[in-house]
């Protein structure tokens, strides 16, 4: 069936490029696939999918970076913001919650990290099963509803349970949102996936700015030994949860009612829905005030050429289409990420890297407010006001780090791997030297360095992983690394339970892990800089 978007016009540049590809792809493009960044061999990815992905990349590049992509940059940024905001939220409310409920603080972080693990696994794989759009449109709503309810928690068991539930929504943001953005942005602007981390920094800043007046002015004073802290004198953390939960529901409303998200054309193509993929490209082009020369015939012709060249690779029958739909529910997406030795090595290294950072980051960052408070008290200025003021300063410092990451990843010498390695090692160094601080200002200064470099690190990490995974398995790949990240994140509060938070032991552990992860980043086999994602 011919597409009506638009009729084939042989005079167009894009059409001529695709016509050339249709003629010689089997002998030229597939032969060079063994050198491609994302395949490792011509058998790694179905050549039909590979051919069509290249055509869609050309079409998205032709459409360019326009109104739709910039709007997507904003609404996807909400997910980045939530991903950093909510781990910070539990850290920010930890001192007053401990004062009120008198429980072991790491249990709250443990409940949260279990929820993050479930969310990363469910939503990441779900993005490859039922599509990006459904996951994108529901995660923030889950966060907002359970956060607001958590504000009325009568005890720490209820609060921990609701934290786990809102974290199921939080855990799905990055695996889904990174896939959506990467599959709509032209290759010339893929660096914006790294720049998106500025929203991650804004999440921390927003949480700190709101917590400062609310928790600072409506909380029991921190005393040693702890003094009685009734609910009536400790409403600040509840007001804070109401405010942050309400914000998430507002952002969900913008996503759902204001912005119209189209399903990813590469996802549609990977599911055999070529006509819908073409239609989406034309809708994006129309929204950008441009015209696309992509037609259904381009995708179908590429499939015909590849099927003839590799008849064993792709069955176009109706029965095969049904089998492909059913295959979404098996392990094929995982197997595809280990299809070749080099791809398997890359996937394994990414899982290890995400796991180590998933352990080190919450081990320090989740308790940084407590560290600032307890050490500040030792230095004689551990007031609630000073603690949250310092948290705001750390959050502001992180914003230029996110911007720097977007610039560094495009440098020929550094690229993604070099930037990730340097920033991760420096993050560990700043954490370790913070233990030498003998004044509150010195402690704040070392933590500013940590905040800056950790934002560079996460900005690159969030961008590099989805760039390496092929589109049709990207959601599953993101889910794998995010799941490893969350599993090891669960270990962080367990370590905190056995390592006294009033000592420097957890800080030493976190710093050493960051440094080790930085060296592991150098072992990644692929450098995505300058390559269009497949």
pLDDT tens digit sequence for 221-257: 766 666 688 888 899 999 999 999 999 999 999 999 9
User: Is the N-terminal amide bond of 225 cis, ω within 30° of 0?
Assistant: yes
Q: For residue 528, what pLDDT band results from cuts at 50, 70 and 90?
A: low
pLDDT at 439: 77
pLDDT-wise least confident of 144-158, 209-223, 463-477:
463-477
* Closest of 278, 292, 218 to residue 12, by C-alpha: 292
Q: State percent of the chain over pLDDT 70.
A: 78
Once rounded to an integer, what is the mean pLDDT over residues 311-322?
Answer: 43
Computed over its alpha carbons, how large is the radius of gyration of the chain? 24
Distance CA 48, CA 28 (A): 14
Residue 519 has pLDDT above 90, yes or no: yes
pLDDT tens-digit readout, 126-180: 777 777 888 888 999 999 999 999 999 999 999 999 999 999 999 888 778 878 8
DSSP string for residues in 320-351: HHHHHHHHTTSTHHHHHTTSSHHHHHHHHHHH
Report the length, in residues, of the chain: 534
- Using CA atoms, how far apart are residues 518 and 302, in angstroms rounded to an integer? 41
- 33-86 tens-digit pLDDT: 333 444 443 344 567 777 888 899 889 999 999 999 999 999 999 998 998 899
Selection from 319, 294, 312, 314 nearest residue 304 by Cα? 314
pLDDT at 502: 64
CA distance 458 to 423: 9
Q: Which two tokens stand for residue 59?
A: 């079409």
Q: Which tens digit of pLDDT belongs to each residue from 90-120?
A: 888 988 898 888 877 678 888 888 898 888 7
Average per-residue pLDDT for the chain: 78
* Structure confidence at residue 500 (pLDDT): 64
> Whole-prediction pTM value?
0.71
Cα angle 153, 156, 157; round to 5 = 90
Distance of CA 252 to the CA centre of its chain: 17
Where do runs of H (alpha helix) occur along 434-504? Answer: 440-468, 474-498
pLDDT of the residue at 46: 63
CA–CA distances in Å: residue 148 to residues 98, 141, 205, 242, 447: 19, 11, 20, 5, 31
Taking the C-alpha atoms of residue 200 and residue 203, their distance in angstroms, rounded to an integer, is: 5
Domains and CATH numbers, the chain: 67-262+338-521 (1.20.1250.20)
pLDDT confidence of residue 369: 61
Residues with Cβ within 8 Å of residue 361, at least 6 apart in sequence:
454, 458, 489, 510
């Amino acid at each position: 069936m011919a597409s009506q978007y638009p009729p084939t016009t042989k005079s167009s540049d894009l059409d001529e490029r695709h016509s050339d590809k249709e003629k010689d792809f089997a002998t030229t493009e597939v032969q060079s696939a063994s050198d491609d960044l994302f395949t490792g061999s011509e058998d790694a990815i179905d050549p039909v999918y590979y051919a069509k992905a290249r055509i869609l990349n050309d079409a998205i590049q032709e459409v360019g970076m326009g109104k739709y992509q910039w709007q997507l940059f904003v609404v996807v940024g909400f997910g980045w913001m939530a991903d950093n905001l909510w781990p910070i939220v539990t850290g920010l409310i930890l001192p007053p919650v401990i004062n009120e409920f008198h429980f072991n603080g790491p249990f709250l972080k443990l409940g949260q990290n279990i929820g993050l693990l479930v969310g990363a696994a469910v939503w990441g794989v779900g993005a490859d099963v039922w599509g990006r759009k459904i996951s994108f449109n529901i995660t923030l709503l889950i966060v907002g509803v359970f956060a607001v309810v958590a504000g009325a928690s009568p005890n720490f068991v209820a609060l921990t349970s609701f934290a786990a539930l809102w974290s199921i929504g939080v855990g799905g943001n990055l695996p889904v949102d990174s896939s959506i953005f990467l599959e709509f942005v032209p290759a010339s602007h893929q660096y914006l996936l790294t720049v998106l981390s500025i929203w991650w920094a804004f999440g921390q800043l927003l949480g700190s700015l709101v917590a400062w007046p609310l928790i600072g002015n409506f909380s029991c004073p921190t005393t040693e030994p702890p003094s009685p802290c009734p609910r009536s004198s400790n409403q600040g953390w509840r007001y804070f949860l109401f405010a942050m939960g309400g914000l998430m529901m507002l952002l969900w409303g913008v996503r759902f009612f204001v912005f119209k998200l189209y399903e990813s054309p590469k996802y549609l193509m990977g599911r055999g829905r070529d006509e819908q993929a073409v239609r989406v490209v034309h809708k994006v082009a129309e929204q950008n005030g441009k015209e696309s020369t992509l037609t259904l015939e381009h995708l179908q012709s590429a499939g015909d050429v590849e099927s003839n060249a590799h008849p064993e690779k792709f069955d176009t029958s109706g029965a095969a289409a049904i089998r492909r739909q059913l295959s979404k529910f098996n392990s094929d997406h995982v197997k595809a990420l280990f299809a070749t030795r080099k791809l398997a090595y890359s996937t394994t290294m990414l899982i290890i890297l995400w796991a180590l950072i998933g352990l080190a980051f919450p081990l320090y960052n989740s308790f940084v407010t407590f560290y600032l408070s307890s050490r500040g008290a030792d230095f004689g200025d551990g007031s609630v006001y000073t603690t949250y003021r310092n948290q705001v300063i750390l959050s502001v410092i992180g914003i230029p780090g996110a911007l720097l990451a977007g610039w560094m990843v495009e440098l020929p010498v550094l690229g993604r791997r070099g930037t990730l390695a340097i920033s991760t090692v420096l993050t560990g160094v700043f954490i370790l030297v913070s233990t030498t601080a003998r004044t509150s200002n010195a402690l704040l200064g070392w933590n500013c360095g940590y905040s800056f470099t950790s934002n560079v690190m996460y900005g690159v990490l969030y961008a590099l992983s989805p760039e390496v995974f092929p589109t049709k398995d990207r959601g599953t790949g993101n889910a794998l690394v995010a799941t490893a990240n969350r599993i090891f994140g669960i270990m962080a509060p367990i370590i905190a339970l056995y390592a006294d938070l009033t000592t420097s032991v957890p800080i030493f552990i976190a710093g050493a892990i960051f440094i080790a992860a930085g060296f592991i980043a150098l072992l990644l086999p692929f450098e995505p800089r300058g390559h269009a994602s497949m």
